[in-house]
Structure 1
Amino acid sequence: MKQKRIIQGISIIVLIMCVFNIFLINPVNAQEKTVSLQVDGNPVNLDVMPFIDAQNRTIVPLRFIGEELGYSFAWDAQAKQVAFTGNGVLIFLTVGSREAIVDGNKMLLDTEAVVKNGRTMVPLRFVLENLGVKVDFDSSTKIVNIITKNGGNDKGTIVKTAVIAENVVNVRSGPGLTYPIITKVKKGSTYQVLSQSSDWYQIAVDNETPGWVAGWVVTVRTETSSASRSEEPGEGRDLEPEPVRLAHIDKVDVDVSNGEVFVTVSGDETLYYTVFSLDNPRRLVVDFFNSVLKDRKSGEEKFEVDTELVTGIRMAQFSENQVRVVADVTAPAGLTLIDNEPSKITFKIGKPSIVGKTIVIDPGHASIQPGGWADPGAVGPSNLYEKDVVLDIGLKLSDILKAKGANVIMTRTGNTTLTLGGRADVANKNRADIFVSIHANANTSRAIHGTSTYFYGGVAGQYEARQKLAKSIQSELVKTIQRRDIGVLQSPFAVLKYTKVPSVLVETAFISNYEEEKLLADPEFRQKVAQGIAQGIEKYFAY
């Protein structure tokens, strides 16, 4: 009887331990607590709710830190790894792991990144405090306040100044055209920015009169009490969005001549497209975005083709505003543009080649400002100007690509009056195949160094193409110049956001770093940078 009681007692203990393990130890099943977010005291609404996990840490969507707070990020789905960069700091987190890497140093966390309902979620405080941002939590209200103003690891006090870019600008009582005009300001005048609402800035007109000006009529400069790179003028504001004009594709012709295949696509508006390849079976895909078939009900249309390279072509409405043309091929294939009218495109399907491709090269900075001076970009320790370095690299890159048969368009060959939107428009109006913006990075810490390539994935139908272009250039550039590989990152830079073609922004090296500034001043190194970018572009067009 006594032995039976002992066994029953052990069974009860084991049961209690199992229940304890399930409900208290296992963080997956532990009850999560919701939390509200604020940025500088302003409430933030997210499509995925942040929560407090079992370790009492606030967990937020990855994209909140990247898109809402403006830090660059990248997500590697295969490795389940996320990277953040900002203020010269590079952070790697891996889903399910409590080990992080910050600027190459391993650090242990008391929690971990997770995937919840298909969304990657990361520990807020760990990421932001390592990026130099202060995070406060009010336990009574369950509100997390992210403090970005004047914050961040002694980076210096940050002040934004608005420079009036038009002859006369209306100052309104609120952030919008419906608010009354309270005064007017003249071109070239500068005012401290007090706050921002969408694409409107509140400025201090005088000691007693705050007012609001539209973002598209001012140039905003970021200044700091310690040496740091400023934004490129115009970077922080949205352009007036162009109305989306839907192209109705009414005709597709396929012709075969002497074993070569020609495809002509016609519509009623300008046609924009991207090209990529698929395997198993091998296919060449052409996606026309912001496009619909005139006769959507016809379903998939097939064209009989039987050449050594192309064995068939078909076309269909792939998504609501995206038309897809697919060529079944027996070997790697690419497109050569034969005729490029605004609403009619003819291309030849053949072996992959850079010949005939239209490539826009954008050496960053050097835009002439309201005061008549040209934006130098970042300035190195020995007074080396970013605008001069990247122009030389751009011209060298142009020579390499032209020698290979590409059609190259430079956004500038000296100082320029083009805005950031105007640079993007060079690619849009010429319906370029790709757009490559070249820059030199900078940071208040002289120790930060390395190479990175950015893309923006928010343009309809172009995520894969833009990511592929960025990866191709980054891998070949790092291989050629042998600098630290910071990686491929996402960021909504204006020139990437407003280009309608696949585009990237290359940060070649840190001009603020003593060693890399010396390299950037060396014509031979600049030639290597140009060669690396060119090899990446060729790799991209190899499909």
Structure 2
Amino acid sequence: MLFRFLLAVFILSIFAGAAFAAEEKATVTGSVVNIRSSPSLEAKVISKVARGQELEVLGQEGEWYRVKLPTGTVGWIAGSLVELKKQAAMTGVKIKVDGRLISFDVEPYIDAQSRTMVPIRFVANELGSQVFWKQAEQEVVITGNDRIIQLWIGQSLARVNGKEVAMDTVPVLKNGRTMVPLRFVSDNLGVEVTWDGATRTVLLQKVKAPGKGGETGTGTMAKLAVVTGNVVNIRSGPGLEYEVINQVVKGDALTVLGQSGDWFQVETRNGGQGWIANWLVVLRTVQNQASRSAEPEDRPRPAPPLYTGANKLLDIEAKDLEDGLLVTVVGAHPLNYSHFSLTNPRRLVLDFLNTTLELDWEGDYLPVNNELVGAIRVGQFTEDQARVVIDLKDLYSAGFSLSEDGKRLTVKIQPPTVKGKTIVIDPGHGSIQPGGWSDPGAVGPNGLYEKDVVLDIGLKVADLLTKEGASVVLTRTGNTVLSLAERAQVANEINADLFISIHANASPSPSLAGTATYYYAPWNSQLATQRAAREKLARCVQQELVRELQRRDIGILEENFSVLRNTTMPSVLVETAFISNPEEEGLLSQEAFRQKAAQAIVRGIIRFFAEP
């Protein structure tokens, strides 16, 4: 105790002249906590705060504290859901990076644990790292120096490359900004930290990366930016105002040469250089070290096509089945083909490479009177590529088979099924919190609770899937004591085929509206092997929701949500609509809209299993 006191006196003497203030703070310990108009559970909820949020304490009445939020709102919070402390805040700290003095819009400070706290944006802009903020989980993810650092607001336990590490302080939300401990982050990013007591300055020295074209030596690290957007622009400078000089596509790996703010300077495979936005790539670190030259058979090679010479399509036939249609395409030589699906309207497209049309029937349209197929269209898509399009009336399952000589392709189109599949449905929120209250999720402007809306949609989804022959497990049918990780574990333990988490979106801006579906499968994790399946599931569900609900298509997005990170099977998190938007809150309150959302989710699931 005496040592801690002397240490505190020593620190104060070092920082003589710095601004110092002691004020009573309440740190929120519950996940999402209500702020009420008076000190009573019956009082009106006027706001909500998340775990780790620091609130200024203005007074006390019984077991309730009167607090002031960063927004200026004043209200009451239950004492059982906060941790009270006197926070010593010491300002006047200067920070230099590689000798350059850094200016801040939110000043760094020394917290009560004598740790320098800095805004998270500083880590991204000045320490050359990527930073991601996960609002739902109050989580900060920092990537750099071959490290993935995970921090949670209000928690002293962090993770570095998946390993738990204890800190002697906690990240906080201060005046609406995320503040993190500089020493802990810097050490794990390989940044040298020293203290100049005379000038009260933290000195940071970044480790220099090997120069381009120089010798990297054995065991040095190089960074690749793997493109995650479908088609992404390469610009002449680090910003959207710069000219587009090139384009790259999803999966391209670009060598990282440098960074400026939220932009990476990269080199493409053809040797060109430019800048790419960091939110459209993920970083991978590779080892540059000598190894034997690859043997000719070491590299996986694509299987050779059945036939590479010129080909002709001679005939297309359609035969009704009891529950579908059999389509046969005949070529003069073994067929070299590919296929893909389109929506709005539904189509199955077959492309035949190095092939021209020489059909024994006239026209480009083969009418079909079938419950699943409306017509078969054919055309010369390019000079050396023939295309067959099968127009579909409903969801379908397609099976492909080639004859032994490869000249006859048979496509069997039937109704899809989820019969026998095990699917876990997770209606979001509704978790019992410390103190016995249930997490309502977001609350609409007219008081609609997200947990109630998504539970109703989830129950409807479960009912529809059960009627289709699937085995369905719900993570909750009311309130639940399961944590997010435990919800995922439910699916893992029963070896489920799919996990679907259902939510309603929210934003401080009431004008935001639309539908989005999330998946998670980073390239540098074990989930990468499921990336194609998870992205496909998200795409199928999102397309069906947009088609059915007719809301703005936000698209499919990738986020590190707990239920997606911890599930071992394909999983998605659906944001049906914005409960914070008055119009969409009204729609979510309607039984018919919720039924449509459930039907769309089920159709997306069926498509996932059905479509190639």
Please report the TM-score for the alignment, with normalisation by the length of structure 1. Answer: 0.43
Higher relative contact order (CA 8 A, sep 6+): 1
Larger radius of gyration: 2
Please report the TM-score for the alignment, with normalisation by the length of structure 2. Answer: 0.38
